[in-house]
Amino acid sequence: MRPTRRLLAWLAVLALALLALGSTRALGVAVAPSLVAGAWSSLLALLALALLDWLSLKRIALPYGQRQLPGQLALGRWVEVTLSLRQDGPQALPVQVFDLLPDSLQAHETGQHLRLDPGQTSQLVYRLRALRRGHFQVQRCQVHCPSPLRLWQRCVDLAWVDDTHVYPDFARLPGAERMGVDDWLQGLGIRQPPRRGQGLEFQQLREFREGDSLRHIDWKATARQHKPIARAYQDDSDQQLVLLLDCGRNQSSQDGPLADFDYALNACLLLSYAALRMGDAVGLSTFATATPRHLAPAKGHAQMKALLHALHDLNSSTLAADLNAAAITLLKRQRRRAWVVVVTRLDEAQADRLVAITQRLGRHHRVLVASLGETPLEQTLAEPVDSPASALSYCATVEYLGQRAALRERLAHHGVAMLDAAPGNLGVALVNRYLSLKKAGSL
């Protein structure tokens, strides 16, 4: 229970009036007794009304209800939250509702006003989005109930405890279930390279179509059906992909709405989704984190759910990346040949170590090092050079990018397969590389 601004304003006005009358009399100026009596009467009447209003507010029926919060949220995507409130008093009750959210959840249009009719359930809808990945809990909702004369306000805390998990923004994936994966990937800017020869696995027999190769005609089936029948092939779907994700401090920088680690995470999930849709098995291991996580390669929709659950609350750490230890651990776990994708940020200091590690992994697996590029540096080159400071910045950027290009050439000379892309483009670039290798039968 607390006084409203209306009550405080009236008290302040009457108090100032009494002080002014008292000061006037102290200066020897005559003041009509009726003015003083009227001021005191008004103050006493206001206090009496405030007391009656306070008692009326104490007797109102408190509201109750529930919150409908989705158990899964996509990072940065707005969703609707519904609050259902009810009160069983004899009269309608106007209230103002505040949902008390943690700092990681941002609300739009909070503190809305709502009218609660007697015995009826009223609903309030507001929009919410998550600013960080992880597991969060919303514990309370606060309802402000005014008194009949609006002199008091009662704050009612409703203990509504709801849990939600914030995942990387993969809300677009359900749309891929309703269309072919090839069309969906093409919509993301992913190119399907032409098939080199026939696929690796026989799929089915079907009628010969325009554009089919004559080599694909099944002559025995054609003789039986009395019409051209062709053999259809599909890519080998019994291959394994293992992602080796660097969670160290070189992934913690942030130059845009998402940190570099979030871009790396999204790229891993996009590649995993494409590979699982193509029928391959996907696994993941993390390193340079206090709690390393590992998922053995597996197929199917359940594996995508397992990947999302394993990675949704993972963040970059302050540890240095130990690629050698990560490679040794992976070799112990992964006996079968796989395509190993190391997602990290290219560093001059670890170049020699990277050559040795990829050569060691390459004896048993096919290895690709996917490195996050520097988007702000590319933007610096595009800006006009119109001052000494901008000229120095431009020259330093050109020199740094030249060093990175030389490093890539040096690694390529030692047989290290590299992929260097801007953070926002890494996922599409990885899927393009995966599809190219798959069509060529190189996995």
Q: Is the pLDDT of residue 56 over 80?
A: yes
Whether 189 has a pLDDT exceeding 90, the answer reads no
pLDDT at 137: 92
Claim to verify: residue 427 and residue 329 sit in the same structural domain:
yes
Q: Could you tell me if 38 and 72 lie in one domain? A: no
* Most confident range, picked from 13-22, 90-99, 211-220: 90-99
pLDDT score for 241: 93
> CA–CA distance from 240 to each of 236, 266, 269, 306, 441 (Å)?
11, 19, 15, 16, 13
**24 and 147 part of one domain:** no
User: Tell me, what's the pLDDT at 191?
Assistant: 52
How much is the average pLDDT of 158-176? 73
- 323 and 346 inside one domain: yes
% of the chain residues with pLDDT over 90: 25
Q: Mean of the pLDDT values across residues 86-113?
A: 88
pLDDT for position 378: 66
CATH of residue 254: 3.40.50.410
Q: Is residue 346 part of a domain?
A: yes
Last residue of a domain, one of 110, 133, 167: 167
Based on the fold, state whether residues 53 and 69 are members of the same structural domain: no
* pLDDT at 141 (0 to 100): 93
Do 48 and 69 fall into the same domain? no
State the average pLDDT over residues 18-32.
Answer: 76
Examine residue 176 and state whether it is found in any structural domain, yes or no: no
Domain end among 39, 58, 77: 58
Locate 410 and state its tokens. Answer: 């040096």
Mean pLDDT of 193-211: 62
pLDDT interval class at 195 (50, 70, 90): very low
Residue 305 lies in a domain: yes
pTM of the model: 0.67
Residue range 152-175: mean pLDDT, rounded: 79
| Exposure on the CB side of residue 139, measured as CA atoms within 13 A | 3
For residue 123, count other CB atoms closer than 10 A to its CB.
11
Which pLDDT value is given to residue 257?
Answer: 66
**Domain-embedded: residue 196:** no
Shared-domain flag, residues 253 and 140: no
Q: How confident is the model at residue 183 (pLDDT cuts 50, 70, 90)?
A: low
Q: Give the pLDDT confidence score for residue 23 in this predicted structure.
A: 81
CATH code for the domain in which residue 75 is found: 2.60.40.10
Stretch 197-208: mean pLDDT, rounded? 64
pLDDT at 34 over 60: yes
The reply to whether 235 falls in a domain is no
Which domain-ending residue is among 140, 167, 194? 167
Residue 196 — pLDDT band, cuts 50, 70, 90?
very low
Check residue 74 and give its pLDDT.
Answer: 84
Within a domain: 313: yes
What is residue 179's predicted lDDT score, i.e. its pLDDT? 40
Q: Would you say 102 and 138 are in contact if contact means Cβ atoms under 8 Å apart?
A: yes
Answer yes or no: is 15 within a domain: yes
The number of beta carbons lying within 10 Å of the beta carbon of residue 20 is: 13
Share the mean pLDDT of the chain: 83
Q: What is the pLDDT of residue 237?
A: 55
Q: How many domains does the chain have?
A: 3
Give CA–CA dist 442/436, Å, rounded: 9
Q: Are residues 54 and 69 in the same domain?
A: no
* 260-307 pLDDT, tens digit each: 888 888 889 889 988 998 889 999 999 988 888 999 999 988 999 899
- Name the token pair of 396: 């330093």
Are 31 and 69 in the same domain? no
Choose the weakest-confidence range: 50-54, 64-68, 192-196, 236-240: 192-196
246 and 163 belong to one structural domain = no
Same-domain status, 368 and 428 = yes
- The reported pLDDT for the residue numbered 101 is 92
248 vs 373: which has the higher pLDDT: 248
DSSP notation for 50-99:
HHHHHHHHHTSPPPEEEEE--SEEEBT--EEEEEEEEB-SSS-EEEEEEE
Domain limits at 379? 240-439
258 and 318, same domain (yes or no): yes
Outline where DSSP puts E strands in 147-266. Answer: 152-158, 162-167, 201-207, 229-234, 240-246
244 or 200, higher pLDDT? 244
Mean pLDDT of 229-250: 79
pLDDT, greater one: 75 or 440: 75
Is 349 domain-assigned?
yes
**Summary count for the chain: helices (H), strands (E):** 12, 20
